[in-house]
Amino acid sequence: MVSLAEYLKLALDRVSFAKRLGLVPDAWQEDLLRSTSERVLLNCCRQSGKSTMTAVIALHRALYHPGSLILCLAPAPRQSQELFAKIAGFYRDLGRPVSPIGERKLSLELENGSRIMTYRAQRRPSGASAASPS
């Protein structure tokens, strides 16, 4: 059980949350974690931590913003499943701080009403994207 001060620190600062998970964010990752933008474009090399930081942000949202819906979307099912696996792993590493209502292979529903779901994005003929369960 964390103290109220620690809880507030984790809730208000995603960098502290990432460090609690044992991560040491690079400067660009700290900037990303502290961003308040609704959309962010990342132009990074392979294996730079994009998925890991996305997983941190997604889990933080689910834990500290009750009723959130987080969709893990990717062109291929394997990609969205890998992202969800990171999120689920971090959730377990924290000791499941918010009790799960449903914990499945590709989705997680929390007692606070937040849901994390995995989908494969499909291209429509018009060029618009749609999501379908993986």
For 4-133, CATH gives 3.40.50.300
Please name the helix (run of DSSP H) or strand (run of DSSP E) that holds residue 15, with its range, or none: helix 14-20
CB 75 within 8 A of CB 132: no
Angle at alpha carbon of residue 106, lines to 105 and 112, rounded to 5°: 100
Residue 102 has φ and ψ, to the nearest 5°, of -140, 125
Its pTM stands at 0.87
Going through the chain in order, the beta strands assigned E by DSSP cover: 69-74, 100-103, 107-110, 115-123, 129-133
Q: Each residue of 70-110: pLDDT tens digit?
A: 999 888 888 999 999 999 999 999 999 999 999 898 999 99
Tell me the C-alpha distance between 56 and 17, whole Å. 8
Domain ranges of the chain: 4-133
Mean pLDDT of the chain: 90
The predicted model gives 107-129 an average pLDDT of: 82
